Every structure is written in structure tokens, then in C-alpha cells.
Chains A and B, each alone.
Chain A
């Protein structure tokens, strides 16, 4: 609950307010210590770590193939993107490239997962601003994606679908049909959801011109993803350093120059449309072939040895997701380090929420798109 824990005397009439960690609008377990001058925020200090599990240490104690499930639980609404990020680094280190068919399957799954993650964000962001209806529309659409995931790998969210050198199960005709059916009807539904937001005057007036993020400040703080693109910089890892088969599909990077909350909202919605475009092309181009690399047989999986170091970066729904792996020639990684985009994006909050009204703090922290499994790891 939001409550005034103590009203210290700062000498200028400021009041210290504690928001969270258990608060409906903090998207998990974010705690904010806010110093208020009347209704104006003068200082924000995010306190994190309530969901900290030290996944990096757990990965060091496990075999290369076992670490994957801890990545599922980082960004738990976009689990497929996390798996792609880890496997990009692990496969490079172990020298087991995935076959062509697997790369296309991974692109399709990653983009479906990106749409699901953005839909969760859109629904929750509406809730932050007091709009209940779009939330249900978003989750109905997301449920269709999760049903496709259930069909392919048996689980809804923490999919654990991919593995080193391949995927757990090949696409069958029903999955392809389901995906085609989904991408055919989705753009129309997305239009309905989009209208529910932007035709609402209160939504526009609470977001337009609020939370201005200058591009130089964003780069200085290491902000990436839709937040950076909403500040006018067309940086997307899928284009800047293509991984998998992103260089063989045709898509655009949405960029906005308005820099405010509304720009971040629009960029994310346009990204969903671009994801649909990628899936449409990928589902046609997907070639026949094996769905795993024979070098990574299940019985040999725990004997894989890695030496050297790699850093792989991928574009997760939140931004640039990097995995730095160091191997010492053993069957377990020596050091695993994760660059989580939400963590970097959260560090900009004290800058964005300086000298704004307390009600705008919720809107601004909503547009950052925080997932605490990833911030705290």
C-alpha cells in the first residue's frame, strides 16, 4: 500500500513517501522512495532486489544445457526471446550452430513472444491509468499465442522450448495452421485495441508531453529498445547486428521523435505490426530439414565443453538483451553475465520523474515496461 512511513524534516517542507513493493501499479516488486514537495516529485530512489535469485550464480553451478530454464524465468512474459538470447551465446561458445529450419522456427517463436509481451505491457499500462476494458482485449489475444505455445511445447509461459543446437519439437501442420490463422485475424483486433486507447481523451492527455527523454541522456544511461527508439534513434539489434535469419526478412524499425510517453506507446504498437510482417514472411520461407543439430544429441548434451568467451546480443521486447559467457574448458560455464534491458531502463526513472506530478510517476514507470524477473534476476 502507499503510505507515508515517516515525515522527516528536510528543512523545506518535503515529505517522504514510500510506494511499493506490494503496490498494484508498480508491476511487480518495485519500491520507490519519493520525496515530495506538495504534489511535485523532487527525488525518486528505486529500491530493487525483492525478486533477486542470483540466476548468474545458479547458471555457474549447472551444465550449459540446464541453464536455459533460468533464462525463461527472467523476462517471464517474453520467455522465447530470453531463450534465443542465451542460445546465441552458448551455441557460439560451444561451436554448435543450429540448422536452417531451427533458425526460422526460432524467429517465428521469438516474434510471437514479442507480441505477447507487448500485449501484456499494453494491458497493464491501461490498468495503471485506470482503463480496465483494453486489458481484457489484450489478454484474449495473448491467450491465442499462449495456446500456440502450448501446442508446440506443452507450457504457456516458461516454455523451455529451445535447446542447444535445436528445438524440443518440430512444427507440425496444426501449429503452422494455428499460426497462420492467428496472424490473419490479429491486425484487425490490434486496430480495435489501439482505438480503445487513442480514442480516449484522458489517455492522450495523461501521456502526451509527459516523461520527455532526450536521446543523449538515453544513450548515456544505456537505455535501449522501444524507449530509445521513441527518443528518435533507430537502433535495433535485429538490424544492427542480425542474428538468426533476421537479415533475410523484410521489416521496418518504428521510430518516433516525440520522446514522450505517447511515443513509447505508439512505437510498441507499431512493433507488433512489424512482428506480424516478419511472421508472415517466415512462415512461408521455412525450409525442410532437421530440427536439431546432430552434434547436440540428448545423451551427449551434458558433456558439451566450452572454452573462451562470447558476448551475444539480441533484441528482447524490452531492449538489448546481452549474454556474456566465459568458459574454462569444463562442462559448466565459468561466468555468466546478463545485460538485462529492464535494469538499464529502470535506472533512467530518477531522471524522468524529476519535477513531475506524483500522478505522472505511475504513467512514466508504466511506459518503461518493467519485468522484475529480469531487473532482479
Chain B
């Protein structure tokens, strides 16, 4: 049995389970066995002192949603790509915008922004005043730059 740190109910009536990140894979594998075959959404929430990762899992047959939460202090959580294929792009997006490193992801590249973009925009301490410009190199790959003369 997986140790659940806390169980509560959200404002919308969905069950919220809180686990330590070491137990995340075990809990998700357990849920998948119970019929929760659809990983709907992965969300990173910046709580300033720590990062929270929220998983919305859905069972098509039972028509039930469960919210699984875990926390991390060092930006790292285990990747769920081995269990759900839909985790692949969601984790890449959260890595891109929130800066969460999913350990064990086969292709952890940025989803939307160029690879060398400075910072992760959804973090609370992201500096919105710093303008970055995007340009394209000879190979057709995008890159970001602080030099306004280089970008467009």
C-alpha cells in the first residue's frame, strides 16, 4: 500500500490525494491498475518556496476524476512517461514554462519556447521587463537573444 500524506476534497467535489514524490510512481501505477487509464492534465504550481505538481487522472469506465498532488524542493519529480503516453508532451510543457525537471523523460526539450530561452515564464520570480527576441539560424532552428538588433 502506498502511503497517502493527506486526503481532502476540492471545491468541485473531487478527491485530492497528496503523496511524497518518492511514492508517486507507485501510486499512479496502482491507480492505473484500478482503471484510471486517462492522465488528463499535469500542472505545475509555483508556491514560491516549493514547486507543486498536480495530476488529474480520469477513469473512462468509472467516469471519475482523482487529483494527485506532490511537492518538490529541488525542481525534480519522477516522469510518468513509462505509464502514460500523454505525460510526454504535458511534462515537456511544464518543463518549458515552469522549470520542473521530470527525471526519466525520454526527450525533455522545451515545447513552445526556443531551447536557449532564459528563465521559465510561469515562475513567480520571472522578470517580465526583460525582453527576449527570437531569430532563426541557418538550420531553421529558433534561438532567443537579448540583442534587439539580432531579433525580429
Contacts and interface: CB of A to CB of B under 8 A. Distances in A.
Interface of A: 5-6, 18, 48-49, 52, 54, 56-57, 60, 92-93, 217, 219-222, 233, 235, 240-241, 308-313, 320, 322, 324, 326, 334-335, 337, 339, 343-344, 347, 376
Given A49-B111, A324-B41, A324-B43, A220 B85 contact: yes
Given A54-B121, A311-B67, A322-B56, 18 more contacts: A5-B140, A6-B139, A48-B111, A48-B112, A49-B111, A49-B112, A56-B122, A235-B60, A308-B10, A310-B11, A310-B12, A311-B56, A324-B43, A324-B56, A335-B43, A339-B56, A343-B89, A344-B86
Interface residues of B, number: 34
Contacts of B122: 54, 56-57, 60
Contacts of A309: 10-11
Contact of B97 (A18, A56, A339): A56
Contacts of A312: 12
A322 B86 contact: no
A312 B60 CA distance: 16
Given A48-B112, A347-B89, A320 B40 contact: yes
B39 interface: yes
B56 A347 contact: no
Q: Is the interface of A mostly helix, strand, loop or mixed?
A: mixed
Contact of A337 (B41, B113, B139): B41
Nearest to B38: A219
Q: Which 8 A-B pairs have the closest CB atoms?
A: A222-B86, A49-B112, A52-B112, A337-B43, A308-B11, A347-B89, A339-B41, A310-B12
Given A48-B111, A220-B86, A235-B60, A92 B11 contact: yes
B143 interface: no
16 contacts: A48-B111, A54-B121, A57-B97, A221-B85, A222-B85, A222-B90, A311-B56, A311-B65, A313-B40, A322-B41, A324-B54, A334-B45, A335-B46, A339-B56, A343-B89, A347-B88
A320 B56 CA distance: 13
Interface of B: 10-12, 14, 37-41, 43, 45-46, 54, 56, 60, 63, 65, 67, 84-86, 88-90, 93, 97, 111-113, 121-122, 126, 139-140
A311 B12 contact: yes
Contacts of A235: 60
B89 A49 contact: no
A220 B43 contact: no
B141 to A, nearest CB: 9
A233 B60 contact: yes
A222 B40 contact: yes
A222 B97 contact: no
Find the residue from B37, B43, B60, B97 having the highest chain A CB count within 10 A: B43
Contacts of A54: 97, 112, 121-122
Contacts of A48: 111-112
Nearest to A218: B38
Nearest to B88: A347
Nearest to B46: A335
A240 B61 CA distance: 10
Contacts of B113: 49, 52
A353 B145 CA distance: 34
